[in-house]
A and B are shown apart, each in its own frame.
Chain A
Amino acid sequence: MRPGSIEEASVAMRELGAAGRAMRVRGGGTKRGWTSVACEVELETSGLAEIVEHNEGDFTAVVQAGVRLAAAQAQFARAGQMLALDPPLSGDGGEPAATIGGVVATADSGPLRHRYGGVRDLVLGVTVVLSDGTVAKAGGRVIKNVAGYDLGKLFAGSHGTLGLIASVSLRLHPLPATHATVQAQGDDAAALAGAAARLAALPLEADCLDLSWAGGTGSLLMRYSGPTAAARAGETTVFLGELGLADADVTEDDDALWATQRAAQRRDDGGVVVKVSAPPSQTGAVLAAVEALGGQVVSRPALGLAWVSLAPDDDLGERVERLRAALAGAALTVQDGAAHVAARWPAPAPAALQVMQRIKARFDPARICAPGTFVGGS
């Protein structure tokens, strides 16, 4: 099923709803491994592929769900702008097929979240289509607005379980012309995490701060942008030296480094990627747990988010549970490789789950939107 307009999507949703046919939205198809539940109908968004507005002077855009993020970025870049969202665009390092709709629906993020926030912080408004055919919008097209409920946030990260996100309005940012990255290596996970925490407590205004760790060694990466990027990166190497990370170096040709960080958030070889969400001070514990388990990890230490990647193995489900046990208090969600793990989602508090179920019942009364893909079993 491939509606060519929001009106067509409305008709399609209404008919599916009336017939009680379970449906799932398909954008670029890059995250199919994030759920193991099959749906009768796939609604493709490739027919909703228009960049409806790009208001250059206002740094805003309205983009339909099926537009590829890469294509939108290319258009914004021509005006010296960007959408400050840089999640991995494919699961297999192949075509960068991820769409705006898919990225918003999964609230996926990349290294830029350090400075600019996540999907929820960049979506100004949404137009959604519900399972009774209702087409509704919330939010607006200006960067400041408090009229009405912020349904953009509710739908961001809802994994298609509330309805179809048909288009979104977005805040854009200036595309930096220059970058520089400091990189330091180390084989002491606690020291790396400690250094990252020290950096995160300083008013450095870096674009990105990442850690990576695998097989007993890791690195810390910090990226600056703007006219003084290289000089600030240089100052950071000195600071890292004082913290015992002696041979940090600076590179201005750093795109590949960050592409590697993003790619490490994905896996398509039968392994599993688990997103960890924890208080930032847990970063050291996350690295240690991964080391004990024999996996690899990309961490955003100032955010408390990490992507743990486990190679294919007979007992992936059991290893994920071991990780959950080691990181009690953190929320662990399986992304790639959901089929190998029984419990994809962590359990939310029962009272919160009840509210979520009531929201689901109101927004998707026909209960056709991606049943079985969300939290609570769900």
Chain B
Amino acid sequence: MDSGARGSTRDLRTLVARMRQIVGDGWVYTDAHELRTYESDGLLQYHAVPAAAVLPGSAQETAAVVRACAEAGVPWVARGAGSGLSGGALPVPDGVLIVMSRMKRILDVDLENQRVCVEPGVTNASVSAAVAPGFFYPPDPSSQIVCSIGGNVAENSGGAHCFKYGFTTNYVTGLELVLPDGELVQIGGKALDPPGYDLLGAFVGSEGTLGVATKVWLRIVPSPETVRTLVAFFDSTRDAGQAVSEIVQAGIVPGAIEMMDQLAIEAAEPMARAGFPVGRRAALLVELDGAARECETRFEEVTAICARCGSDDVRVARDSAERDRFWKARKAAFPAMGRISPNYFVQDGVIPRTKLPEVLARIEQLAGEYGLIVANVFHAGDGNLHPLVCFDSMIDGQAQAAEELSGKILEACLAVGGSITGEHGVGVDKKKHMPKMFSEPDLDCFQRLRCAFDPQGLANPTKVMPTPRLCGEVPGPYRQHPLEAAGLAERF
């Protein structure tokens, strides 16, 4: 939006001085070389320099910083670890970047209630580490060693285990928030179902547009008794997809069920050395976890289903070292792409699981049309595709062609009733695709929520919505309803 109309340089100088008072001189950065670290998040093709980056050390400081921004009319963006893949933490030029990385204390580990309370800068992996071995925190994005719980909350992050266990939103029981006007508010806590509207549900996944999370209460769960892992190889992704369907139809809920296509196997194997046979069309990694007895019985069923669906090569991990190798192959697929292609985009689309063969065929056709290579890795249980679109930015026009092809893949997902993002969020990168998934009234309805939290439009203003929107006044002065006049009810 028009940054010119928002605070002049002089106003910004006043704001910076005020922020220095709030957090201390050392925690406000304004020099170009200091700000460079914060120009991009994990999606490096976007970059912008904020006017200042501020690192609050507490919820109160965060609230004071946000209030100062609100009073100065200066937009701000919260940033966790900056691992986001949709440009969500991309700074607003001339705005303030509020970096949560100093707030990384684990405040309370309450195993009796199966809750953990953390500051937002705590990494995802350290939550599970804090409650091991009896318990764990299930949402496990591949970036879990670096990404922050605050970022997870904002993106509603998932991971390989979310088909069975659910996403961040299913684990957040409480939040302390700084609202865009600088007010500090707690919603929920250790108990489920706090009274009133489900503000937790509204906030999780809101991509930093409704406020800053300064404290997060998370539910943890008992660690499974057993984990059994296998990988099965197939002659076609269709057969592998059929196996996925039959496993789910049999009432089996695998902890994880991941698929790689031929190109992904070929790229990953030299790096992971898991012994995956190069040349096979599909690999299906299935992991069952849970109660030992149930797991054993179900594991035999899964093995039989894979064989029945055409796999002549089912390998069961004999020990945890072998299990780790299988996972290494799956997780190597992303970085390994770097070996076979100078550049690549990671796409994130979702389809109904049964449409897998159709959509994969369409992706292959599109790749052919564009003369580009697309490898596929996906969370097969929930239909979340991660096509890796390979290109060489040194070849004129290829980056643009790859970007266009990536967009076409999303359209293919939408054509079968899917979604433009399963876990990476809309951010700045996908806002142009929002109107393909949502109508104007749908977007207007989203905006109502945003305006309820942020009528000034200062919280991460250039994200999620395809076009900038202002918040109108709430229609009319507050009218008392006759029921209220009669003393029968108040307010709502």
- Residues of A at the B interface (CB closer than 8 Å) are 20, 22, 37, 55, 57-60, 80, 107, 117-118, 120-121, 128, 130, 134-138, 140-154, 156-158, 161-162, 173-177, 197, 200-205, 226-228, 231-232, 235, 275, 277-281, 302-305, 330-331, 333, 345-349, 351-363, 365, 367, 370-378
Contacts and interface: CB of A to CB of B under 8 A. Distances in A.
Nearest to A119: B198
A174 B439 contact: no
A305 B453 CA distance: 29
12 contacts: A117-B166, A130-B445, A136-B439, A142-B418, A144-B167, A157-B198, A203-B221, A345-B195, A346-B195, A352-B187, A356-B197, A370-B492
B350 A142 contact: yes
Contact of A351 (B183, B200, B445, B484): B183
B481 A367 contact: yes
B260 interface: no
A86 to B, nearest CB: 17
Contact of A58 (B170, B353, B492): B353
Contacts of B250: 174
Contact of B422 (A145, A149, A200, A331): A145
Q: Which of A231, A355, A376, A378 has the most CB of B within 10 A?
A: A355
B419 A142 contact: yes
Contacts of B418: 140, 142
A110 to B, nearest CB: 14
A184 to B, nearest CB: 19
A356 B169 contact: no
Contacts of A365: 474-476
A144 B191 contact: no
B467 to A, nearest CB: 14
Nearest to A35: B489
Given A134-B444, A355-B179, A356-B197, A371 B492 contact: yes
B223 A203 contact: yes
Nearest to A126: B445
Give the bracket for the number of chain B residues in contact with chain A.
Answer: 35 or more
Contacts of A144: 158, 162, 167, 350, 379, 382-384, 419, 422-423
A147 B193 contact: no
Given A142-B352, A146-B421, A348-B196, 9 more contacts: A142-B382, A147-B434, A203-B290, A226-B294, A226-B297, A227-B297, A279-B113, A376-B196, A377-B492
A80 B166 CA distance: 22
A154 B198 contact: yes
Interface of B: 110-115, 134, 155-156, 158, 162-163, 166-167, 169-170, 179, 183-187, 189-202, 204-206, 221-225, 245, 248-251, 253, 290-291, 293-294, 297-298, 350-354, 379, 382-384, 417-426, 430, 434, 437-439, 441-446, 448-453, 464, 474-476, 478-479, 481-484, 488-492
Nearest to B162: A144
A303 B192 contact: yes
Given A58-B353, A228-B297, A197 B112 contact: yes
Nearest to B164: A205
Contact of A352 (B186, B426, B476): B186
B423 A146 contact: yes
Given A203-B224, A226-B251, A140 B419 contact: yes
A367 to B, nearest CB: 6
Contact of A353 (B167, B196, B294, B479): B196
B194 A143 contact: no
Q: Which of A143, A174, A360 has the most CB of B within 10 A?
A: A143
Contact of A372 (B113, B251, B384, B481): B481
B294 A146 contact: no
A154 B113 contact: no
Closest 7 CB pairs of A and B: A153-B201, A372-B489, A377-B490, A378-B492, A174-B251, A351-B185, A136-B445
Contact of B112 (A118, A157, A281): A281
B75 to A, nearest CB: 19
A199 to B, nearest CB: 10
A234 to B, nearest CB: 10
B205 A146 contact: yes
Nearest to B482: A22
A55 B492 contact: no
Nearest to B204: A150
A188 to B, nearest CB: 19
B492 A360 contact: yes
A153 B202 CA distance: 6
B452 A121 contact: no
Contacts of B452: 355, 358-359, 361-363
A150 B434 CA distance: 14
Contacts of A361: 452, 474, 478
B92 to A, nearest CB: 20
A120 B201 contact: yes
B193 A331 contact: yes
Given A55-B352, A117-B170, A377-B490, A202 B222 contact: yes
A121 B449 CA distance: 20
Given A145-B419, A361-B452, A362-B449, A280 B297 contact: no
A58 B169 contact: no
B450 to A, nearest CB: 8
B193 A107 contact: yes
Nearest to A174: B251
Contact of A205 (B193, B294, B442, B479): B294
A1 to B, nearest CB: 19
A151 B445 contact: yes
A361 to B, nearest CB: 5
A355 B250 CA distance: 44
Contact of B114 (A150, A280, A357, A370): A280
Given A362-B452, A365-B475, A154 B186 contact: no
A346 B291 CA distance: 39
A178 to B, nearest CB: 10
A226 B382 CA distance: 22
A357 B114 CA distance: 32
Nearest to A79: B249
Given A136-B442, A351-B185, A121 B196 contact: no
Nearest to B170: A121
B446 A203 contact: no
A340 to B, nearest CB: 15
Given A141-B417, A372-B481, A355 B453 contact: yes
